[in-house]
Structure 1
């Protein structure tokens, strides 16, 4: 697949950048965790010696190295060490079903996997010949000499990113060094540099995390790592380390702003708050802009690339219902069911073409073709699977995943519209709307709501309140209260899990 034509004169070779920061800024902190601090000299040395370790295990340029680990300095070291010797990294997602992990291991073809101590038994059951326990890394590196880095080329394989999956094998999304370099250059526009401090609170195997972590490495900033997200601890670390940048998902923003002591913390160091993985709701944006210093920027994109839009929330207060406009060099179009481009205002599938596009799905050329659309003018676009429309100013309004759209009585209902209304209720802290089988309508929308503790509100009260604010064809058939909603490791509501019991109970 061909990304937009952008010159690579500014190409960032990430291992070379680490080496440069280690030489020019050796004593500055690079990676900070509760129990470990690596300055740039130590980070570069540990990466180089870990690369030597991998080389001794038979890893060669072009090979794949896998990991099964949490958010820790050594997981970042392993990622960089793989690139250092010219290999490709495949960080496998913690929490994935063992069958899915086995499929990923077979798909990526890694010969070596590095795992946290508690993940070693699971890693040992995969079809990967060599398992290295990260808790023994210090001992393994003690007698090894640093390995000089291999110079990277834009077309070299960089990483393979898998979604978490349940029992099926998720697709392996392949990126090259060009893809990551262009991301790293673009993110510098948000003020990243050697004085930047980023707080990393999502998993290293997630592209959400990598979208900020890799640019921070490229530009020599300090990364403060949280092994597990906790609202109070996050705010403490923001204040203590004078954090300037962060990449969070909307549910994290909502939980942080709802923390009873949020306003007691000094967050004035914050320059840019980035959000991705799900749309920010207008109520949440307004709350964040009012109470949290710094810019708030929503990023709409895909791990596959192609689709890429940005909304600087403070600069466009009248566009908070959108996910922004296409970034420089990108094109977003809306397609009908026949693959024809639609004009502004018309609803269809969102497709995108940008300077960053995956090289394809691992070992899946048919799926790669299915995910792409070639325009009449010869551009390769990535299909998002999202339904949306462009307004008259080119801002993108997202409606729903095409597979999550509810068709009730022949009408299309977009769950996100109903969810926005539910979230305006003063006693609703979280919600999801799903389509469930209906003998009369085919499908009907059901609201699943997490209510504010001790509110005493009833499902009927919430349902009546919401329906009074919804159009006739949008109305909820019912509301059910839940203690919490199932979410992925990066905060996406798992609607497939929510729908499953209703589909199973439906008559044949």
Structure 2
């Protein structure tokens, strides 16, 4: 990292007499107290706690043996695998900062992320080898700092890199202020923003989520990728408490149901589109899902009709969690307890406060619509190397407390329940992934035939919503909608790709020149709840 962690202020409230048991220390005991018990299972079989901890400690010892200093970054580009989980935990045991990278990002964006965080090591899975080969030329890293988790096409294989390093347990001493992980936002233009979480953020989050039953008895089916904060919210407390993870490398609705029945799954964190796909499976009612205690949902509001169907057909409660990867805003809806509030995202969690402000930064009374801002016990330290962008996110209350802006428009009802109504910055959430319209628009506007462009989210049965590009061609151009679609998508990450291009004679704009996206969206969302 170019910007030292010490330069980043702590926005989270200080808690008196707060103690911490770092996850790297906590898990060591499981090698002895439950060494033969299953820590994780995947398509290759079970891994016991004893075997997992041996792999974790060997990785940690090798990282330090090769010079990893406290707080330095280790980047990983992989789907969910036993090796990747061991790397994640091994980095923490070594005192490093984990940087999970998205295999759906473009090669350019990945290179920017790796350079931005100053990663000392990069680990890559075979599934991402082709993408990695496009990233590698732009990096100034020696081959002995590049490791293939399950492939020999990246520097060294994991086995070669580990050599004969011992599995001695020697977890690093860390404090609440030390870096835990950096999660990068998506983006194709400019450097994506690196969201820095410290141990304070994660420790408090793990304790809070443990109260939802993510304890030593939990069997947690993980079907979203480890580079997403959505996934870490449930994975980390399960590991911290000695529970069991069932890893899916790639989500498939039918396979999810098979694994849930086979392993007697108790918990799962899902995004809205996954609920829709699972419930739509023709064989859904044939599976025994009676072991489920709780299903969590985040990344986008879960529609009331989907909650109703899931509560009726799928055993166990649903808790919808609304928040930001940055933290600050934290609400939860207990669907069993509040069936009359399913259109909301619940109430603030313990230690959290949510307000709604107008365009001038004034707090609004309940019932009025404005931007949602929040303050919670878990708040990021800031965007790495981007103090200006960090500052833009802050709102200070009249009492002098720092809140984070959500970029979402919403309201608070008379009972204190929060409703998310729109996205202030035109963010599109497709299949659980955040897509920023400006990135897609910049890609389109780079084409010489495009005079103007706007990207909006439109309804999608498959993805919840999907990006649609509305384009004004330059006079005399002959490119078709299909031509521009293929050109733009060839320059975007997989999760950012545009579903269709439609030509328009002009785009509606305000008197100050802003595209009126609400006007553009309205016909597509008419009649959609």
2:226 matched to 1:217? no
Give the TM-score taking structure 1 as reference length: 0.81
2:116 match: 107
How far is 1:377 from its partner?
0.7
1:462 match: none
User: Which of 4, 16, 22 does residue 13 from structure 1 map onto?
Assistant: 22
1:247 counterpart SS class: strand
2:136 matched to 1:127? no
The residue correspondences of 1:93-492 to structure 2 (distance < 5 A) are 93-117=102-126, 118-119=128-129, 120-129=132-141, 130-135=145-150, 136-147=157-168, 148-404=170-426, 448-450=459-461
Distance 1:237 1:107, change over 3 A: same
Instruction: Give CA-to-partner distance per residue, 1:318-362, whole Å, 9 cap, x none.
Output: 001100000011000000000000000110000000000000000
**Contact 1:74–1:134 (CA under 8 A) maintained in structure 2:** yes
**Contact 1:330–1:353 (CA under 8 A) maintained in structure 2:** yes
1:190 counterpart SS class: coil
**Contact 2:54–2:167 (CA under 8 A) maintained in structure 1:** yes
**Backbone CA RMSD of aligned residues:** 3.1
2:55 matched to 1:34? no
Equivalent-residue separation in structure 1 for 2:308 and 2:200 (angstroms): 36
1:403 counterpart SS class: coil
2:88 match: 79
User: Which of 101, 104, 122 does residue 92 from structure 1 map onto?
Assistant: 101
The answer to which of 50-59 and 327-336 deviates more is: 50-59
2:15 counterpart SS class: coil
Equivalent-residue separation in structure 2 for 1:57 and 1:360 (angstroms): 29
1:114 counterpart SS class: strand
1:464 match: none
2:58 matched to 1:43? no
Equivalent-residue separation in structure 2 for 1:369 and 1:33 (angstroms): 42
Equivalent-residue separation in structure 1 for 2:240 and 2:501 (angstroms): 43
Give the TM-score taking structure 2 as reference length: 0.78
Distance 1:232 1:111, change over 3 A: same
Equivalent-residue separation in structure 2 for 1:356 and 1:502 (angstroms): 44
Unaligned runs of at least 5 residues, structure 2? 1-9, 151-156, 442-453, 463-488, 510-529
**Contact 1:352–1:383 (CA under 8 A) maintained in structure 2:** yes
**Contact 2:108–2:135 (CA under 8 A) maintained in structure 1:** no
1:58 match: 67
**Contact 1:95–1:164 (CA under 8 A) maintained in structure 2:** no
Equivalent-residue separation in structure 1 for 2:258 and 2:17 (angstroms): 40
**Contact 1:99–1:168 (CA under 8 A) maintained in structure 2:** no
Equivalent-residue separation in structure 1 for 2:234 and 2:304 (angstroms): 24
**Contact 1:124–1:131 (CA under 8 A) maintained in structure 2:** no
How far is 1:99 from its partner?
1.2
2:48 matched to 1:3? no
1:408 match: none
How far is 1:164 from its partner?
2.9
Distance 1:227 1:7, change over 3 A: farther
**Contact 2:215–2:237 (CA under 8 A) maintained in structure 1:** no
1:422 match: none
2:425 counterpart SS class: helix
**Contact 1:93–1:163 (CA under 8 A) maintained in structure 2:** no
Equivalent-residue separation in structure 2 for 1:167 and 1:355 (angstroms): 32
Distance 1:449 1:85, change over 3 A: closer
Equivalent-residue separation in structure 1 for 2:138 and 2:46 (angstroms): 32
User: Matched residue pairs, number?
Assistant: 443
Runs (4 or more) in structure 1 with deviation over 4 Å come to 443-451, 498-508
Instruction: Give CA-to-partner distance per residue, 1:77-120, whole Å, 9 cap, x none.
Output: 11111111111111111110111111111111102101112434
Equivalent-residue separation in structure 2 for 1:334 and 1:313 (angstroms): 23
